[in-house]
Structure 1
Amino acid sequence: MKHSEAGPSKALPPPPPVVPPSFVPVKVSGSNRTPMARRGFGTKGQRIPLLTNHFNVKLSSTSDHFYQYSVAFFYEDGNPVEAKGVGRKVLDMVENVYNSEMGGKGFAYDGEKTLFTVGPLPGTKLEFPVLLENLSTNRTARGGISDEVDTKRARRPPQSKSYTVKISYATKIPIQAIFNALQGQDSEQFSEAVRVLDVLLRQHAAKQECLIVRQCFFRDDPKNYIGIGGGVLGCRGFHSSFRATQAGLSLNIDASTTMIVRPGKVVDFLLENQNVRNIREIDWIKAKRTLKSLRIKSFPSNREHKIIGLSVKPCGEQTFSLKQKNGDSPSDAVEITVYNYYAKHHRIEVNQSRDYPCLDVGKPKRPVYIPLELCELLPLQRYTKALSNLQRASLVEKSRQKPRERMNALMGALKQSNYGADPVINSTGITISTTFTQVEGRVLDPPKLKFGSGGDLTFVEPAKKITCWAIVNFSARCNVDGLRRDLRRCSEAKGMDLEDAYDVIEESPQFRRASATVRVDKMVENMRKALPGPPLFILCILPERKNSDIYGPWKRKCLVDLGSRTQCIAPTKINDQYLTNLLLKINAKMDGINSLLSMEHLHSIPLVSQAPTIIFGMDVSHGAPGRSDVPSIAAVVSSRNWPFISRYRASVRSQSSRVEMIDGLFKPIAPDQDEGMIRELLEDFYLSTPRLKPENVIIFRDGVSESQFNQVLNIELEQIMAACKFLDESWKPKFMVIVAQKTHHTKFFQTNSDYNVPPGTIVDNKVCHPKYNDFYLCAQNGPIGTTRPTHYHVLLDQIGFSADQLQELVHSLSYVYQRSTTAISVVAPICYAHLAAGQMAQFVKFEDMSDSASSHSGSAAAGAGAGGFNQLPKLHERTRSSMFFC
């Protein structure tokens, strides 16, 4: 690798004797910290002109305020309207019929219970009756057939429904709040004012019949569709949001993709979704779950309906009561099958559907049946179920866009949106530029790395001799003997002393179809019989790539019960590059160091090398969307062996589902006992460093939005400070808090280039916040797609870094990731916290957690955790302080 230097390996100092710090009980006090203001701009690096997907917005409103109103909808009988989607139709009618009563004002409706106007409406309370033609009802005809197939009914005018709309004044929002924020002034109402502008864009997209997913808009256009299999399409669209920047108000537009079901015949969708060739092979129980709540269009009337289920019997056997007419007087009802009804009354023979269920589009106690072949799925219906591995891989591959391609797509989306034609948007005085904003970037030099005496081919500090280790194979088709031989050969080249594996334990064939936990238990039994004692390391060969159900139970068994460090693989092609990447992970897990920053080795990192410094990385892993029964997993990793910053350990806990703030940082349970994560990590630092407490504490936090910054400063930081005081009340370290955001929509492009921005590109001007201290960094090389920069927000700095010192530190921390010898997209401590939380989450996914298990990887049991969830198991003492997550 370039920019490296070779040198003799030097062992880190041995840990000092255990001298635990004193414990003094301290009460957590309240605080009211806010993010710090920018102190200056960086100057280092080669300057480079860039474009960004921000479009300048000019705002020259003739009104002083946006006015906010609450809106409620009621049926004719006075009951509130709960159905989603009716609000926009009703308000469109209000706008058309009662324009004069509304003072001629247009409005922006958020799709729920709020609307906004520029300037006030004529009154604070308004009420309008609305008659809305109901063109897509689920009315039943003659007991069990949708009335759209009844030719007599079809000739009647569509049913209408009466609504009452009540609009009441709520508050007013000063437009000046936007201008104040752009000038760097604090303005609590800025987010409310910008929300109005965002709602304007949402409403404009709704009128263009787009699918709206928060601030993302998707059009029904086959050119936007990406087939990923299983009847699922990726639908390309765009995200738009207003941002306050140093260059003024801007509209940030970015490409976005959501999953939708493939529109068209229901039968064709089911065949593709279940990967079967014939309708006879369809699993109808699975089909019922898949189709529920999807909307269809039925023929020949083109009416729309929502599916609530399937008929119990096939179309040729499913009966319903059909009322007969004899002149003007009805006669007794007769039972008739759905198939015979269509054949006799409408001359439609639904032979394809005769032996299969009908769609039920009625209500739970009043079914309405339509044969499958007369139904088509409507476009732009979101697919919210989890994607398979193949679907996910296909989506990633097909949705990539090169920089120039993405720029063209964004420009096309802006033109197609045609915001200038919207009268409500025009009434605000908004003018949106049609050109990308120009910014100046700087390309930082990559930090020099130190490897072993053999250059970048050898590890700077190989793990100690690995003697008793084993290979286990869970029925994977793999040349184990070749892997065993080549792994030893490559380890010697890297400077590792890896003896030959003591044994290879193959899974017994009779257990291949057993549950994952049984397979793991049987493998451990066989391993104990074959080995003289617990192995130091186990190489596990899994039968499937990605999400193998064996992974979670196996990791838990090794890390918790056996105390063995383990690496799982599922190789498809084994070559030297594959083995090198594998050895990077193994060496880090076995306490080796693959590479160091040269300035780390020379103790020349500004401020960090001059005083004992601990670096934390913090992240929270959540369960799948909608799974409130699965706890969230919080992880904190911390650096050890100061003055080095390349080795870390982790503390992990479960907490209430979907909660982003970490609540286990400080947990005093007695006057002299703290069960918190920070105490565990601080003691580890104290013991891995010659009895030194850190004078500087640098915290990198991942996964929080701007609205949660104050919580990070006033809840999480307060816990960390309290944990420090609990250890020693006289100890007053300096703190720095930095939030890293990866899920944002700012991209950078080189002018007239098909290539991504160079690695090390940093931007802290124009599109950054007008007041607060933030910057964008593209540390990684992005050869595929369009590089996503990481957005760093410096919330607090008591240490006193200059802009250049801090930006170079963040850049350097992107190079200390032990699984790679090049830069990654975010600082290594955050990446490690993400890996630790994800790996421990596998324990929750595959096994019930014991009530008596420990709350994290290092302290005593704490019982049930927040939200009623049992706690994570306690890691074995031999794996607790390792980089098991690497």
Structure 2
Amino acid sequence: MAGPNKKRADTVKKSSGHSKGQDSRGSSDNMPRSSPKRIGNFDGANDSGSVKKRKPEDYIPKRDLLNISDFLGMQGWYAARGVEIPNSLPSRPAKFNSLGKAVPIKLNTFNVSGWPTTKVHQYDISWDEKSPTKDGKRGLMNKIWNSKAAKEALGEPQSLWIYDGHKLAWANKKIADNEELRITVDLDAEQGRTKTPGAGAKNTHTIFVKWTRSVDFAHLDEFLNGKCSWTASCIDTVNFLDHVLREGPSHEYTQIKKSFFARTAQRQDLGQGVEAFKGVFSSLRPVLNDKSQKALTINVDVANGTFWRPLSLGPLIEMAFTKDLHQFQNMFKIGIQHEGKKGDAFKDKQWKHSNLKRDLSRLRRVQVVDNGYNKKQGPGTWTIEDFPPYDPYTATFPNPDERHITEPKKRSRITVADYFEKKYGIKCTRGVPVVQMTKKISGESVQLPIDVLKISPNQRYNSKLSDVQTSNMIKFAVTLPAQRWQAVQSGVQMLDWANDKYLKHYGIKVNPNPSTVAARQLPLPQLHFDKAQVQPHDLIQGRWRLDGKRFIMPALAGKDTPLTAWGICVIQGRDQPYHAQVENFAKQFVKIFESHGVKFGTKFGKAPAVHYTDVSHGGEMVTEIWNKTGNHFKMNPQLLFFIINDRNIDVYRRLKKSCDCRYGVPSQMIQSRHAKTASPQYISNVCMKVNAKLGGVTSWAKSVTLHTVTPKQQQNLSTMVIAADVSHPAPGAGSEAAASYAAITMSCDEKYTRYWAECNTNGNRVEMVTTENIKRHMGGMAKKWMQKITNGNPPQRVLYIRDGVSEGQYAQVLDYEVEDMKATFKELGCKTVPKFTVVIAGKRHHVRFFPGPGVGDRNGNPKPGTLVETGVTHPFEFDWYLNAHVAIKGTARPIHYQCILNEADWNGEALQQFIFEHSFQYCRSTTPVSLHPAVYYAHLAADRSRAHENKNPESSGKKPEAKPEQKKQSTTKSSSSKPLVEIPPLIDINNKLGLKNTMWYV
């Protein structure tokens, strides 16, 4: 970007009053910036104490960083944390990619055409020390803020205030610099409730509103024009604009972060008490717009949210757990049983670890409304805190009819059932837990029977969906581009910018016409098989066939040995194949695998050893087929098939654990329905996976473009490609103590067709790959790489592609992971550390491409290789959106790539073309894939690693694969005071037969 000169930059810094080093990344004549301190790690991997402290008026405290606007870019997050921007941050290349041909693409972005010209003031919001809002109860905070007393004190509607729901507010009204506005709100009086005698002022709250600064729109304008740096002032301005755009819709619809849902919108019952709504997502961001100008735009997209159905709590629980009342009562009875031991402590402990308690915890923090049993006060709204191990006939509380006794401990206790029957004539259901609420009376939590409660409308469902729910959700969410664009238009109508009173009040204007950009259709590579090449027409259509094509490197060819010892284990049960069907599958597999170039041994015949067993044998099923195959062929098995009856994840992981960790043998699961039909196309797809697991290569994407755009001095540099992904436990019960899994993949040939992968646990919800994992796993693979490819020398450059990190964590990738990788190379004895180029691959965004007429595929999606560099990209940093694949269903989602380090000086065109071309050599697909294959392989390895947990499943027979527990990994306390969690490492893969040297995870 064009940056200010040194004198200008110094002037800006002095006038803005902010700490030095917050200057945007500019051209070579920009002001110098030294290496900054490490960015504090806020995900629990490291202590965040290294972050520079700032005065509260400069910016919100670091614990509130999660509440600022997204899409600030890496520079913005450095500025938000008050940390100096490093010199190494890459700028956008001086020229856009000119490869291929230009194609018109419509984006779901809408440019901001005007922003306030009058002064807007920012305020700090704080609360009475004794108020429950000090604990961050956002629902209560919003209720207080929107109260009549607060609105009158703030001077509404003459001054329309914007509140972020937490610590910041904005208005065009100025309160004196040294004054603090105090507002006292009595919520009982607001809601017309009569105070209980002796209850005091427990529902009275005080808000403190203090002016901190004026919002500086001129500074943002100068930043976008390249005349000044990213500063906290710019961030505050973007933050204000983002919040004011959301304020109007938040009063009309149910808001979940940046999405809005209307009850009248399209919705779908997903089953088990959950339904899905369609809503609208809206987010403001600074961009290089469709006219290549630095500006602000709004990304609008469809939002698909999951919600609890607004049903009575009892029927909903039965529906959610697919149990009737009698079964639910039995589950509760089992959950609170404590054999031979007496006392509530034992009951609580037993209940805490029960399956029912775990399932019920999905309802924690869900809002419910009662049936108005208290006629004087009417229906009350409550928030579920927990489900204690007591039913209404055993749960007790101080008798409210004895309020004249001022000390609650001296009152007699009454059961919930007796109280509701005597007071309101309501007979409670026996044998089901009471519901404990967040509200307390006389120091004790309120407990209500399930019978009087109903789920409030629009309560978000936060837990992982079941397989059935997921299937229904996919059907509901997936829409073709034409329908999705209609939904985007409907979303724009919902947002109704032209009539939004808050936008009018602050003078903000939005162009209702979408951005249209000139994208590039990148050149295709040549896809080679052995003595065959895929036609360009098939490549651009995004699908090719394997018929008659020999793999470019058949399995075991490198070892010059045929596939001899292989076995099939048939797990008996519902829909199992007959013996003749198993024989036919084996015969067809041999025939088709040979047609792809793989050789079979003939000494004992080509047929496999076949064994029949059932799931009651547990992990011993693997021992049985291992022994039978080994005895039949007089050698260690080279490959094991398992024909399974359904997609039971527990059975799958049990088999994989034994194959990987006990015997170190490649394995392949086949569903019985596919074994029965033995479709040639299906078997060819299986052959691709088996070929990779046995050390082979399916195909190779040969570039015909890269040499034309790569400088000569870089064309023959030895290059290592590394990717990493961290997979976290699904939200819901038990996730606070469950492991995260880190996987690292590394290219292991000069054509980047094969990748090694290693994985391990990574603490609990720790996003940065730990130092121990990098040194052990990346270091081990790097040592093998140097021995195999460069005769012991380090690579000259490393392309590190990282998936799954948010924008606020980009700097941590450099500060922790890349630094650890460099240190690992040094520990391996490398005199010269490779030059790193680091690219973040992101798929969790709402940007979509809508091709112009005649440009897209038959479904209206962009064709493979569609590259967008303007309209929605960062104004100055080096990022792009690439659609490398063809969407099978729905609207294609491009991948957002951002280069955050470029020590190796990759040419922009070369880097984009390199990533695109590699999408054609994913080893288990006859289509290009959306992500770079190295990242996909990291996904697969991270998911597969769950099968290697160092614990034994129930009813799995003998478990000799479980090794003595190794040193545990722990997560240090994060800035959110997350408790210490001990996570044991995974069981190691048995590598006696060289399994780690293959693509065992595909």
- Same fold, TM exceeding 0.5? yes
**2:228 aligned with 1:228, yes or no?**
no
Cα distance, 1:595 vs. partner? 0.5
Pair 1:186-2:229 in alignment: yes
Using the alignment, how far apart are the partners of 1:136 and 1:307 within structure 2?
A: 23
Q: Distance in 2 between matches of 1:424 and 1:503?
A: 73
2:304 alignment partner AA: T
Structure 1: gaps spanning 5 or more residues: 1-27, 142-146, 148-152, 326-331, 668-673, 855-861
Q: Structure 1 residues 543, 139: CA separation in 2 closer, same or farther (over 3 Å shift)?
A: farther
**Residues in 1 aligned to 2:705 and 2:696: alpha-carbon distance in whole angstroms:** 15
1:634 aligns with 742
Question: What residue is the counterpart of 2:243 in the other structure?
Answer: 199
The separation in 2 between residues aligned to 1:830 and 1:470, in whole angstroms, is 31
Distance of aligned partners of 1:689 and 1:393 in 2 relative to their CA distance in 1, 3 Å threshold = farther
Residue matched to 2:89: 34
Residues 275-310 of structure 1 show CA distances to partners (whole Å, capped at 9, x for unaligned) of 246666664563754545432222243332234566
Partner of 2:170: 116
Partner of 1:91: 145
Could you tell me how far 1:454 is from its partner in structure 2? 6.0
Aligned residues of 1:182 and 1:246 also touching (Cα < 8 A) = no
| Distance in 2, Cα, partners of 1:108 & 1:810 | 43
Shift of 1:238: 2.5
Are 1:444 and 2:499 matched, yes or no? no
The alignment status of 1:484 with 2:561, answered yes or no, reads no
Distance (Å, rounded) in 2 between the aligned partners of 1:105 and 1:517: 69
The RMSD of aligned alpha carbons is 4.1
**What is the one-letter code of the residue matched to 1:295?**
Q
2:765 pairs with 1:649: no
Q: Which residue is 1:253 aligned to?
A: 300
Compute the displacement of 1:171 (Å).
Answer: 5.0
Deviating more after overlay: 788-797 vs 32-41: 32-41
1:882 aligns with 2:937: no
* Residue 55 of structure 1: how far off its partner (Å): 0.9
CA distance in structure 1 between the aligned counterparts of 2:455 and 2:204, rounded to whole angstroms:
29
Structure 2 vs 1, CA of residues 320 and 625 (structure 1 numbering), >3 Å: closer, same or farther? closer
1:660: Cα distance to partner?
2.0
Query: 1:191 Cα shift?
Result: 3.5
1:544 corresponds in structure 2 to 646
For 1:633-782, what aligned pairs fall within 5 Å after superposition?
633-642=741-750, 644-664=751-771, 675=776, 677-678=778-779, 680-689=781-790, 693-728=794-829, 730-731=831-832, 733-751=834-852, 755-782=860-887
Paired AA for residue 89 in structure 2: T
Secondary structure of the 1:707 match is helix
Matches of 2:838 and 2:175, distance apart in 1: 46
Deviation at 1:811, TM superposition (A): 0.9
Describe the shift of the 1:358–1:707 C-alpha distance in structure 2 as closer, same or farther (beyond 3 A).
closer
Which of 568, 575, 579 matches 2:669?
Answer: 568
CA contact (8 A) 2:526 2:701 kept: yes
Q: What is the aligned partner in structure 1 of residue 322 from structure 2?
A: 275
Secondary structure in 2 aligned to 1:631?
coil
Contact 2:865 2:882 in 1 (8 A): yes
Q: Which residue of structure 1 lines up, in the alignment, with residue 382 of structure 2?
A: 305
Please state if 1:461 is matched with 2:553: yes
- Distance change >3 Å, CA 621–CA 614, structure 1 → 2: same
Letter paired with 2:687: L
Question: Contact between 2:837 and 2:906, CA under 8 Å: does it hold in 1?
Answer: no
Structure 2 residue 382 is the aligned partner of structure 1 residue 382: no
CA distance in 1, matches of 2:861, 2:217: 38
Q: Is 1:554 paired with 2:655?
A: yes
The superposition leaves residues 376-407 of structure 1 with CA deviations (integer Å, 9 ceiling, x where unpaired) of 21111122222211211221122112212222
Distance 2:623 2:188 in 1: 61
Deviates more, 1:676-685 or 1:629-638: 676-685
- Aligned to 1:256, the other structure's residue is in SS state strand
For the residues of structure 2 that align with 1:383 and 1:808, how far apart are their CA atoms?
41
Unaligned runs of 5+ in 2: 1-35, 39-85, 290-294, 336-355, 373-377, 403-409, 534-545, 557-561, 954-960, 973-981
Structure 1 residue 491: Cα displacement: 1.0
Deviations 1:567-623, CA, capped at 9 Å, x for gaps: 223343341222111110000111111111133999999567523222222222222
Superposed, 1:125-524 pairs within 5 Å as 125-134=179-188, 161-170=203-212, 174-184=216-226, 186-189=229-232, 190-212=234-256, 214-221=257-264, 223-247=265-289, 248-276=295-323, 283-284=331-332, 286=356, 288-300=360-372, 301-308=378-385, 353=429, 363=440, 366=444, 372-453=450-531, 456=546, 457-464=549-556, 465-475=562-572, 477-478=576-577, 479-498=581-600, 500-507=606-613, 509=614, 512-513=615-616, 516-517=618-619
Deviations 1:696-720 (A, max 9, x none): 3222221222222233334333333
Task: Report the Cα offset of residue 371 of structure 1.
Answer: 5.7
Q: Deviations over 1:157-193 (max 9, x none)?
A: x999322111234455533443244234530334443
C-alpha contact (below 8 Å) 2:786/2:794 kept by paired residues: yes
Query: How many positions carry a matched residue from both structures?
Result: 816
Whole-angstrom CA distance in 1 between matches of 2:647 and 2:777? 36
| Alignment match of 1:624 (pick from 720, 723, 730) | 730
Q: What CA distance in whole angstroms lies between the structure 1 residues aligned with 2:595 and 2:391?
A: 68
1:254-277 CA-partner distances (Å, limit 9, x unpaired) = 222222111122233233212246
Task: Give the whole-Å Cα distance in 1 for the aligned partners of 2:101 and 2:931.
Answer: 21
| Aligned residue number for residue 48 of structure 1 | 103
Which residue in 1 is equivalent to 2:124?
69
| Deviation larger for 684-693 or 597-606 | 597-606
Distance 1:622 1:355, change over 3 A: closer
- Are the equivalent residues in 2 in contact too, given 1:632–1:654 (CA < 8 A)? yes
The CA deviation at 1:528 is: 6.3
1:666/1:629 Cα in 2 relative to 1: closer, same or farther (>3 Å)?
A: closer
- Whole-angstrom CA distance in 2 between matches of 1:159 and 1:208: 32
Tell me which moved more, 400-409 or 810-819.
Answer: 400-409
* Matching residue's letter, 1:165: I
What's the secondary structure of 2:468's corresponding residue? helix
- For residues 75 and 295 of structure 1, what CA distance do their matches in structure 2 show? 24
- 8 Å CA contact 1:323–1:334 kept in 2: the answer is no
Q: 1:317 to 1:740 in 2, by over 3 A?
A: closer
Relative to structure 1, the CA distance from residue 421 to residue 610 in structure 2 (aligned partners, 3 Å threshold; closer, same or farther) is: same
Task: Write the distance in 1 (CA, Å) between the matches of 2:555 and 2:388.
Answer: 64
Shift of 1:822: 1.6
Identity %: 23
